[in-house]
Chain A
């Protein structure tokens, strides 16, 4: 049942990503599949993080029309790293979650652009990726994307906490036992 709910969440995120960008121009700065990956990665299960990163990343590539596997690669890696860090450090409080989203968004953008550069070399920065023509522009893009993702996560994570309320409570108890008792 839980896996089904997670799968439906990923499908819903991909569908929203496809639909909302048609009506809201700023939505291009938001990466819902990444936010879903971060949310489930914070549940301290590397295998779940890998699975969610795999599905949402490759689904994102399929929807956006980019090279298949690029977002899959970045989201699997980011999901796994967050899950491993969340086992060692308490990342449950809202401020820590926001910081994780901001860092994850920045790392995701850098990895994504880096992989495109590696795959298609120098022509990519001027052509396939029109928003990245110099380092200052790239830094600005990373910043705006991190800001947009972090702001969206404030609402999305609250909604997901409600949907997965049982798991969220169990997780909080486990973290309390692990770090504070």
Chain B
């Protein structure tokens, strides 16, 4: 029997590899919540420092150019901002006073105090590497204390949650991903529902009864019922309301408050979802 030549062996190599890949795919498809694959960890551990350096360089260059452009009209803008600062200072003083009253009332009613969570700043080093997934990659990982399901936010609102963690990076599923869900409620009426991602950078607040009065522009906050996002974080504002008199539920389109599609810096709330007690998540 003659030995197979390299050319003749190729179909057998191909068949073996394809079979191996079918088994690999089947394993990872059956265990979608398993830890990050070893290959992904190796590659991303190597790539993250490079991506971080590139991001730093690009932000320096764009920041420099942007800073120069911003110099034009800076004086007029400065006067406007001074006036706005005074308004906001007064507003803040009133808010501080109200918060003190609120805390005093909570203490008198013996309501549990709401915990403050530590935050960790992170840079977005990559996003949506392919057409099929709406994900961000940040330059913080398990070595910084990040764990799966930790909420990710900006100063203006939530961005998403950590779905996979490597030693020096983490993958964040954004709230506009169709796969994502957030327990949420309307800030004024306190009606609770669920936020789901839409294709166009918007979200939909589902399961709100059509009898609930809702106004465009109303703020939507997290309800805490999903045991991932602590209660009271801003999700977005009601942008559009589609009323169908025959439907039992409102169709509410929300514009996320955080710039999910172009966010560059985020902070991770160091919340372990196991630590979110029922009292903390459902108490008003």
Binding site for B on A (CB under 8 A): 14-15, 17-19, 21-23, 25, 28-29, 31, 46-47, 50, 54, 58-70, 72-73, 76-77, 80, 112, 115-116, 119-120, 126-131, 133, 141, 145
**Are A73 and B21 neighbours in the complex by a CB distance under 8 Å?**
yes
Q: Is the CB of A115 within 8 A of B10?
A: no
CB contacts (< 8 Å) of A112 on chain B: these are 132
Among B50, B124, B130, point to the contact of A22 (Cβ < 8 A): B124
Q: Which 8 A-B pairs have the closest CB atoms?
A: A69-B24, A119-B29, A62-B40, A69-B25, A46-B10, A73-B21, A69-B21, A64-B129
Of A23, A25, A64, A126, the residue contacting B130 (CB under 8 A) is A64
The residue from B14, B17, B22, B130 contacting A28, defined by CB atoms under 8 A apart = B130
B24 and A63 form a contact (CB under 8 A): no
Contact A127 B178 (CB under 8 A): yes
Alpha-carbon distance between A79 and B63 when the two chains are bound, in angstroms: 42
CB within 8 Å for A131 and B54 given contacts A64-B130, A66-B132? no
Contacts of A77 in B (CB 8 A): 14, 18
A120 to B179, CA, bound (A): 13
Q: Is B90 an interface residue (CB 8 A)?
A: no
B133 touching A65, Cβ below 8 Å: yes
- Per a CB cutoff under 8 Å, which of A63, A69, A80, A129 touches B129? A63
Contact A63 B43 (CB under 8 A): yes
> Given A18-B126, A28-B131, A72-B24, are A47 and B13 also a contact pair (CB < 8 Å)?
yes
Across-interface contacts of A63 in B (CB, < 8 A): 40, 43-44, 47, 129
Q: Chain A CB within 10 Å — which of B22, B42, B47, B129 has the most? A: B129
- Which residues of chain A are near B132, meaning CB under 8 Å? 64, 66, 112, 116, 128-131
Residues of A within 8 A of B51 (CB): 15, 18-19
Q: List 18 A-B contacts (CB under 8 A).
A: A17-B130, A18-B51, A19-B54, A19-B126, A22-B125, A22-B126, A46-B7, A47-B6, A47-B10, A50-B10, A50-B13, A62-B39, A63-B47, A65-B135, A65-B137, A72-B21, A76-B14, A77-B14
Q: Are the C-beta atoms of B25 and A28 separated by less than 8 Å? A: no
A-side contacts of B7, CB under 8 Å: 46
Which of A14, A61, A68 is most buried by chain B, counting CB atoms within 10 A of its CB?
A68
Give chain A residues whose Cβ lies under 8 Å from the Cβ of B47.
14-15, 18, 63
19 new A-B pairs (CB below 8 Å) besides A19-B126, A61-B40, A128-B132?
A: A17-B130, A19-B54, A21-B128, A21-B129, A22-B127, A46-B10, A62-B43, A63-B44, A65-B129, A65-B171, A66-B133, A67-B32, A68-B40, A69-B22, A116-B132, A119-B26, A126-B178, A128-B179, A129-B132
